Chains A and B, each alone.
Chain A
């Protein structure tokens, strides 16, 4: 007989997830009644806030449930907080934009919530089947969100492109999981770690093939070179709030799973370090060099997100607890200032007829000086100038690399940051110094987006000056990494 007495304990572990799901379905139900359709945003935001509160409440505990399929450890619960926070910020950014572009529909919020649910499922397990399911639950809403502006050809293209390529990547991932299962007879990482040398000795070849295919599958999601080709088109074509979500949420989720897989599950494969060395160098260099050529801000930010993924990949090459906490820290930092930068882009795009080209920035410093100053702050953070959080994140990442003896990797990282100065500062050059024939259109703030700008700016500057709290958070997320 199965013992049902501990059912409640199991559900304790997934309270935040349940809150998100209930929120998603409540939004869908409300959306069917015309009179309540306006409430959808607030309901979605409210349930996400409740989920955030539950996740914060969970943080620091070590729980496992559902026959070991859900592992809510410090690492997982830290990422729960990150994902839900990103979802809330996305919804705040999106509200006005969707109305202006006439694509405001309740499904948007439901899909964001379900996608966030998928990310949490993905990051809170050691079982590869559950990871895959989480990845799909995250991705399916994203395919739809990318094509959410149905009348825009670019958005349609983004949706289809992301769907076809994403499905292809999922096939690689599944094949990889099948190979690893074939070699080790289990899908649970904890059991793979326990028998690692035995598995490698008896069926090492299949294990290596499987690990390589898994790397391809998740490498696609984080935009790792050479699986990055979809990033610029999808980032440019998708509605801008969705792009903001793309660059923060799924990316962090992809890294969370990659960290669990490659710094815990397959840590025993010594060759991985040099593979990640090459991948990190390729990813950051390709991202930065291609970003130099862009004339569209969203496209530039897409390539920059590839470059930042490259910086985080350094941590995989280095390995060890310090590198892990540096990667977590950088993921959070990147999410904060990148969401901020995208909030500015969203605000600019709500002006009529704007397509986020660089030239549209001209005269912005005169038309809306405060917004321009905030934009400058985010650009400095993206570049990695002190005293922003971007500087500290990079410093922490590169210094762990140097400490572990990866001096060349750190040097290449720093050189890449210098390259990035050129295209990031171009944003400021255009907005502050370019001449304009007619004054730039002024932007209209809403409370939601002002709040987002304030929070992200405060985070960028505040954690840059006093990184201690965030650092402790990242380090405690490592502590019980099982």
Chain B
């Protein structure tokens, strides 16, 4: 098996995430923004793999890349006024926003740096079959939340139909 230094992979992934994230909020074409978002979310899944969280990575790809981003692209394509239209995503407040966000980022960095005790992640600390563990939890302790989610989906479905169906007079 090929041994890869996790550090390099991490830096590459982070770079792609940052660049694509920036593209999402700066490109002029909404469709391109959506594509950049797909790339961004996909690379985040890569980070999860790096952390040995395979289930989270799979869920990330399925939910964010597979449905949320695709739904977004469909929306853009189906909305005739949006597709191919050039829009500016920033306004006069851009500079102020930039400063405030930078301030928050620096504050968050400092807080995390000085308030967290870092433990090196031992390879053996995570059970190799953590998906199995998640499955067991879903069928025992978290069975009720798991089932209750289905009620939520039904409610959303009923609501969507109630709002969208055509009325017969």
Contacts and interface: CB of A to CB of B under 8 A. Distances in A.
Contact of A105 (B115, B156, B162): B162
Contact of A111 (B140, B141, B144, B158): B158
A144 B144 contact: no
A107 B148 contact: no
Given A107-B162, A144-B159, A67 B151 contact: no
B115 A205 contact: yes
Nearest to B117: A202
Contacts of A121: 148
B151 A111 contact: no
B155 A141 contact: yes
A133 B152 contact: yes
B145 A129 contact: yes
Of B140, B141, B155, B156, most A-chain CB atoms within 10 Å: B155
Given A2-B140, A66-B144, A130-B145, A114 B163 contact: no
A112 to B, nearest CB: 11
Interface in B97-146: 111, 115, 139-145
A67 B143 contact: yes
Contacts of B115: 205
Interface in A110-165: 110-111, 114-115, 117-118, 121, 127, 129-130, 133-134, 136-137, 140-141, 143-144, 147-148, 150, 159
A134 B111 CA distance: 33
Given A28-B158, A147-B163, A21 B142 contact: no
Of B148, B154, B167, most A-chain CB atoms within 10 Å: B148
Contacts of A136: 152
A474 interface: no
B19 to A, nearest CB: 25
Given A67-B142, A140-B159, 13 more contacts: A28-B158, A66-B143, A70-B144, A111-B158, A114-B151, A121-B148, A127-B145, A129-B142, A133-B149, A137-B152, A141-B155, A143-B159, A144-B162
A111 B145 contact: no
A133 B145 contact: yes
Nearest to A67: B141
Nearest to B169: A102
Contacts of A147: 163
Contacts of B163: 144, 147, 150, 159
Mostly, the B contact residues are: helix
A137 B151 contact: yes
Contacts of A159: 163
Contacts of B141: 67-69
Given A28-B158, A105-B162, A150 B167 contact: yes
B152 A111 contact: no
Contact of A141 (B142, B159, B161, B167): B159
Interface in A388-432: none
B111 A111 contact: no
A110 B157 CA distance: 12
18 contacts: A67-B140, A67-B141, A69-B142, A111-B159, A114-B158, A130-B144, A133-B145, A133-B149, A134-B148, A137-B148, A137-B152, A140-B156, A141-B155, A144-B158, A144-B159, A144-B160, A144-B163, A205-B111
A114 B145 CA distance: 16
A223 to B, nearest CB: 22
Contacts of B144: 66-67, 69-70, 130
Contacts of A110: 158
Contacts of A140: 152, 155-156, 159
A137 B155 contact: yes
Contacts of A130: 144-145, 148
Contacts of B139: 2
A121 B150 CA distance: 14
Contacts of A129: 142, 145
Interface string A219-237: 0000000000000000000
B61 to A, nearest CB: 20
A69 B152 contact: no
Which 10 pairs across A and B sit closest by C-beta, in order of nearness?
A: A144-B159, A66-B144, A107-B162, A69-B144, A67-B141, A140-B155, A114-B155, A137-B152, A133-B148, A140-B156
Contacts of A117: 151
Contacts of B155: 111, 114-115, 118, 137, 140-141
Of A127, A140, A205, most B-chain CB atoms within 10 Å: A140
A115 B156 CA distance: 11
Interface string B43-74: 00000000000000000000000000000000
B36 to A, nearest CB: 21
B158 A69 contact: no
Nearest to A127: B145
Interface in A196-232: 205
